[in-house]
Structure 1
């Protein structure tokens, strides 16, 4: 059996689809299944069992001999939440329990970290120098929680025989319908264009960037789950890895390509970045992907133009899930 936590969420549900596509059907999905808006993400998938996240460790104690691999992708991901205690519960303490359980039962583990650990990027976006990790200063409690766990993991004497932490950059794609404000700008763009014919982007409050010129490493969720699938079979070279496309693009690029995928004439307006995130806003992110390549991952990452076209035309317009 393969365990996937956060399974009704965005990335994890797409991973379940990828596993099903390769005939991995004995999948144990772990989540808070009382959140109804996420449930369509896993409808129709081939699954072995549903386990509530609150009772998962008791389940694992009883069933660990049947488990082959653990993908721990469940997390609280709201970057506007400013109470660190909220993230301590799921992102830090629950992850520590997961790590310790995988050590105890000799299970390989892949877990979700985040590019939010890099903060404003002053120290770069490389995953090769672990001595830098304690020096990172994330811009919000969400990023702190992910960085705290990465550093805790690196300090442990007892580790799973194989483990990998994946620093997700700006992931977009199908199955993010439930994410509200935290959904990708592409989903927000699609909805705005459909409703109003126009798209609103944040103004730049940094003189080094024009309005719409803010740059992020946007990575298609299908590429993300391919990396997870690779690690399922690789099971060596433990460590923390960036997971982006390796290419920063502007929000203007993103908006223009969304209009293009819809066959619409671009109409883009700008408004002030909300004050609650303005001082903690990343203006540039770009993953250094050489470390993942060095262990043998050689599939190309989807160009933004192609990813947006696939997402819009094959999922957003028809309202389909992956």
Structure 2
């Protein structure tokens, strides 16, 4: 049996879809759905799993010894992922303390543990994007979200747990089942809706002289590539450590938006708006995963080209009546 924390969220529910595609439905989903109006519950409709447990109840069961038996792996995607969250204590409780408790449980039970770190731990990128463990302590995240993720990476390293775990530094992930994320949804999702409503996409202006408007660059990766990598790690429990999960190819926001226009068979129309003051000193102008480490471990997954991932997302999900991933849709 496999446990997915954050299993109703974006990457978590996509991973449940990946497991279902491979005939695996003996899964417990751990999450909190909050208001039904957010639509987060829709990420689970059409997917197969054994049980749903609220995240608070799950921790209580672990601490009291009433946890579900027969767990072979925990895929820990549950976290507060809002990079603008300012409640540091809340972030530490959810992203650090929860993770430590769950990791300790897995160590004691010899359970495979795959968890989500973040490319936000790399900060402004001036210290590089190497996923070698020896570089962890040198990183300086730009926000509290990134710091909460780095704290757990460092705990896993210093405790020796990282030798038994796979920690994944996701870069800019886009794809189906992000519909509940609001401001934290991908630029593809936002662009699709702006194009449909106004025919135009608004991007942030650049506030650095070395980047033109729209030329800020990110390593974008399609969520279906992420889940394929995670499935491979699940099937190869001897592969452990910190790994970047990105395409390894930085592309501009202009490229991403133009790919969205192309997938919708429309001519590009882009305007630029000033970036909010509160974001300017915390904004990453360039990210690009160093992906050689995962490849060297034998991972056969080749991330999709940006245009291919965007085309699949737009045409087979965003533009359909039922955009959510389910067992019948690829």
What's the TM-score, normalizing by structure 2? Answer: 0.94
Is the contact made by 1:7 and 1:31 (CA closer than 8 Å) also made in structure 2? yes
Is the contact made by 1:261 and 1:309 (CA closer than 8 Å) also made in structure 2? yes
Is the contact made by 2:206 and 2:216 (CA closer than 8 Å) also made in structure 1? yes
What residue number does 1:124 align with? 128
Q: Distance in 1 between matches of 2:181 and 2:93?
A: 20
Shift of 1:300: 1.2
What residue number does 1:21 align with? 21
What residue number does 2:85 align with? 81
Is the contact made by 2:143 and 2:282 (CA closer than 8 Å) also made in structure 1? yes
What residue number does 2:243 align with? 241
> After the TM superposition, which of the residue ranges 136-145 and 61-70 deviates more from structure 2?
61-70
Is the contact made by 2:58 and 2:67 (CA closer than 8 Å) also made in structure 1? no
Shift of 1:160: 7.7
> After the TM superposition, which of the residue ranges 53-62 and 241-250 deviates more from structure 2?
53-62
1:291 aligns with 2:310: no
Shift of 1:161: 7.3
Shift of 1:35: 3.7
Q: Distance in 1 between matches of 2:113 and 2:298?
A: 19
What residue number does 1:257 align with? 259
Shift of 1:238: 1.5
RMSD: 1.2
Give the secondary-structure state (helix, strand or coil) at the position aligned to 1:149.
helix
Number of aligned pairs?
320
Shift of 1:88: 0.6
Give the secondary-structure state (helix, strand or coil) at the position aligned to 1:8.
coil
What residue number does 2:102 align with? 98
Aligned match of 1:146 in 136, 146, 149? 149
1:115 aligns with 2:88: no
Deviations along 1:23-76, one digit per CA (max 9) or x if unpaired, are 111100000133422000001211101111001134343345411110000010
1:320 aligns with 2:323: yes
Q: Distance in 2 between matches of 1:34 and 1:79?
A: 19
Give the alignment of 1:140-219 within 5 angstroms. 140-157=143-160, 159=161, 162-219=164-221
Is the contact made by 2:162 and 2:241 (CA closer than 8 Å) also made in structure 1? no
Q: Distance in 2 between matches of 1:314 and 1:64?
A: 36
Q: Which ranges of 4 or more aligned residues in structure 1 deviate by more than 6 Å?
A: none
Is the contact made by 1:108 and 1:160 (CA closer than 8 Å) also made in structure 2? no
Q: 5+ unaligned residues in a row in structure 1: which ranges?
A: none
Is the contact made by 2:250 and 2:288 (CA closer than 8 Å) also made in structure 1? yes
Shift of 1:85: 1.3
Deviations along 1:74-105, one digit per CA (max 9) or x if unpaired, are 01011111221121111011001111111121
